Amino acid sequence: MRYVAGTFLLAWSMAAATGAAIAQSDNGEAATLIATQVREQGYACDQPVTAKPDAGDSEIGERAWILNCKDATYRVRLVPDQAATIEKID
């Protein structure tokens, strides 16, 4: 039981740290970090251009971003301990 609790705590703290790193990074770094998550979930984003916070779609504990790639634009909601919610925007 201790191992499971320790693993959960480690995973949660890593997700929180990643979110904090993105929030504190500049636009280019944020775009790169979010594009990595988008690609890991099977979406195309070969050349990330910008990532801007989407305050209107963010919730407590979930940060939303508009990610502009050379080939597509996505609304990405980063949720700790879960896959990101990704929506392609035309």
Structure tokens at 35: 């594009």
Determine contact, residues 67/34, Cβ cutoff 8 Å.
Answer: yes
Residue 4 has pLDDT above 60, yes or no: no
Residue matched to tokens 């971003």: 65
Q: pLDDT, tens digit, for every residue of 20-74?
A: 455 445 567 999 999 999 999 999 998 999 999 998 888 787 899 999 999 999 9
Angle at Cα 19 formed by Cα 14 and Cα 24, nearest 5°?
125
The answer to pTM > 0.75 is: no
